[in-house]
């Protein structure tokens, strides 16, 4: 369990700004973010609603395999409390994968066996390890987008060894893998990695058909971080969010990494690889956590928009109230859909499972609603946020008094104004805010495919019956 900065110095190979990080705990981009992640574990000690007893062992409620609507509602409450620690801005806190691990044992038998390798046993054993040790697991599923018109096998045959993660060598005791995965969120701070594929492998991509778990500190695993949004020379007053934490995304390289047989869940079977996300039970339950976390994030930015309207003297304008009303309606729609996903859930493999159709609807609309809230914040703060002086100006005796006078109103002091406007700028216009925006649009998959997937599973049976009735009545001259 990642609980202390010192535990990050376990030999993991992490690169930041082009250099290998020798002391992870000394890098603010990691240590500050870890403090927020640590709240997931702290809350278990502070609030017993966050735990339950599993075979006599006290465990995080995230590992509860829900059996009822009530269980899903309990988990939702914990998802909310964890998400509020980061204002919904950390999308891959430990409770994300843990929500899927909670039910993995119920679905594992579908993974089957292959020769001497028992994938079902491996999955159950790993799930128990994650539960009892409360391991922080980060996952990676996306392959580098080198040429979307070619299969992974074609790219590999052309010499692209890092087009995805593939089996370089099969041994008696495991496999040697090579390759890469992109956009692995929070990998630098995780204890372990769960690697699998999206369901898009082609029949010839057998070498890439893999699902496995391994410690982040495994020899040959290289974590290459993106450019940080945190600014080393600035304060929280200037950047209230950017300087608090950075949900680091990383590019993963696997340089001839050994994966033992007992860590494999899929190996060389394209059909099983394509089915893994859904067959493992991970899809529905991680989606439940993810949409609850997204709701908290939407709640946060909606609150910023309303606060700006009040504090900048805009609230009494009817057009402003209309815009804010649209945001509050959006927020309520997301809240209601999440609850609906629970109420309309069903038992599956001995687990009460949220309605994925409803969660997909949330995923499809939340991105749009979040963007609308950002546009309102940007419009309301407008030139005021663009022209906010450096907060350090208050320390300069030549200008401090005049500056405070110029920025103070009956609604708030100069300092309060600058802090609020800095927050508005941080979430809408800084690299931190833009990364958060892009994350919401793409982390759940291509928005177009989300709509297509929802359409494919929409039940219009009764609608078609009504249409047929109207047409039959018209055809037969009935009223």
Sign of CA dihedral 336, 337, 342, 345: positive
Is residue 377 within 8 Å of 277, Cβ to Cβ? no
- 142: which DSSP letter? B
Res 185: pLDDT: 93
- pLDDT tens-digit map of 211-267: 999 999 999 999 999 999 998 788 999 999 999 999 999 999 999 999 999 999 999
d(CA 317, CA 308): 13
Is residue 450 within 8 Å of 444, Cβ to Cβ? yes
Distant-in-sequence, close-in-space partners of 311: CB < 8 Å, separation ≥ 6: 411, 412, 416, 417, 420
pTM, rounded to two decimals: 0.94
d(CA 38, CA 2): 8
Res 479: pLDDT: 67
Number of Cβ within a 10 Å radius of residue 4: 11
Phi then psi for residue 274, to 5 deg, are: -65, -25
Is residue 465 within 8 Å of 411, Cβ to Cβ? no
Q: How remote is the C-alpha of 281 from its chain's centroid?
A: 17
Q: What percent of the chain has pLDDT over 70?
A: 99
- pLDDT tens-digit map of 5-41: 457 899 999 999 999 999 998 999 999 999 999 999 9
- pLDDT tens-digit map of 147-182: 888 999 999 999 999 999 999 999 999 999 999 999
Res 136: pLDDT: 96
pLDDT at 2 over 80: no
d(CA 81, CA 87): 10
Q: Which pairing describes strands 13-16 and 221-225: parallel, antiparallel, or unpaired?
A: parallel
Edge-first strand listing for the sheet containing 174-185: 19-20, 13-16, 221-225, 249-260, 174-185, 165-171
pLDDT at 391 over 80: yes
Beta-strand runs (E) in 273-413: 346-348, 351-353
Give the pLDDT band (50/70/90) at residue 3. Answer: very low
Number of Cβ within a 10 Å radius of residue 466: 11
Q: How remote is the C-alpha of 471 from its chain's centroid?
A: 46
- pLDDT tens-digit map of 258-312: 999 999 999 999 999 999 988 899 999 999 999 999 999 999 999 999 999 999 9
pLDDT at 122 over 80: yes
Give the C-alpha distances (Å, rounded to integers) separating 62 from 103, 287, 359, 390: 10, 13, 18, 43
* Structure token pair of residue 248: 């680091």
- pLDDT tens-digit map of 351-376: 999 999 999 999 999 999 999 999 99
Alpha helices in 47-170 (DSSP H): 69-84, 95-107, 119-133, 152-157
Mean pLDDT in residue range 373-394: 91
Res 4: pLDDT: 47
Q: How remote is the C-alpha of 234 from its chain's centroid?
A: 27
Q: Left (φ > 0), alpha (ψ -120 to 50) or beta: where does 202 sit?
A: beta
d(CA 161, CA 163): 6
d(CA 208, CA 267): 8
192: which strand partners? 137, 215
By C-alpha distance, which of 285, 289, 269, 268 is closest to 277?
A: 285
Beta-strand runs (E) in 12-121: 13-16, 19-20, 51-54, 57-60, 113-114, 117-118
Res 147: pLDDT: 87
């Amino acid at each position: 369990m990642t609980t202390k900065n010192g535990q990050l110095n376990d030999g993991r190979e992490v690169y930041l700004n082009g250099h290998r990080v020798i002391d992870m705990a000394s890098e603010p981009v990691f240590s500050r973010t870890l403090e927020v992640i640590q709240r997931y574990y702290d809350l278990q000690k502070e609030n017993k609603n966050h735990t339950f007893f599993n075979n006599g062992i006290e465990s995080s409620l995230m590992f509860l395999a829900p059996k009822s609507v009530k269980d899903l509602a309990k988990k939702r409450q914990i998802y909310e409390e964890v998400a509020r620690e980061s204002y919904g801005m950390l999308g891959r806190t430990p409770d994300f994968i843990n929500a899927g691990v909670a039910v993995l044992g119920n679905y594992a038998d579908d993974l089957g066996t292959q020769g001497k390798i028992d994938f079902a046993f491996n999955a159950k054993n790993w799930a128990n390890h994650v539960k009892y040790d409360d391991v922080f697991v980060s996952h990676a599923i996306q392959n580098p987008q080198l040429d979307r018109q070619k299969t992974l096998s074609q790219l590999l045959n052309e010499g692209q060894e890092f087009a995805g993660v593939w089996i370089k060598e099969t041994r008696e005791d495991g496999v040697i893998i090579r390759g890469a995965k992109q956009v692995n969120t929070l990998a630098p701070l995780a204890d372990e990695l769960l690697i699998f594929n999206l369901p898009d492998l082609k029949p010839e991509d057998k070498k890439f058909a893999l699902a496995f778990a391994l410690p982040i500190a495994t020899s040959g695993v290289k974590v290459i971080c993106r450019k940080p949004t945190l600014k080393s020379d600035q304060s929280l007053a200037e950047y209230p969010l950017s300087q608090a934490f950075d949900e680091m995304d990383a590019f993963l390289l696997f340089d001839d990494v050994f994966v033992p047989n007992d860590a494999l869940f899929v190996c060389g079977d394209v059909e099983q690889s394509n089915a893994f996300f859904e067959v493992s039970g991970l899809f529905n339950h991680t989606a439940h956590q993810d949409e609850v976390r997204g709701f908290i994030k939407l709640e946060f930015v909606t609150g910023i928009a309303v606060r700006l309207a009040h504090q900048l003297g805009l609230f009494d304008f009817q057009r402003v109230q209309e815009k804010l009303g649209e945001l509050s309606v959006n927020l309520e729609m997301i809240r209601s859909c999440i609850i609906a996903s629970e109420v309309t859930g069903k038992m599956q493999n001995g687990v009460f499972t949220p309605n994925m159709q409803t969660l997909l609807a949330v995923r499809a609309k939340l991105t749009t609603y979040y963007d609308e809230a950002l546009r309102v914040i940007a419009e309301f703060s407008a030139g005021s946020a663009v022209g906010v002086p450096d907060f350090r100006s208050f320390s300069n005796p030549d200008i401090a008094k005049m500056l405070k006078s110029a920025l103070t109103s009956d609604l708030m002091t100069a300092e309060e104004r600058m802090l609020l406007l800095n927050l508005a700028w941080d979430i809408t216009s800084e690299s931190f805010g833009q990364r958060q925006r892009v994350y919401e649009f793409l982390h759940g998959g291509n928005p177009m495919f989300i709509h297509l997937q929802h359409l494919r599973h929409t039940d219009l049976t009764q609608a078609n019956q009504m249409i047929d009735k109207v047409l039959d009545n018209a055809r037969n001259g009935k009223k």
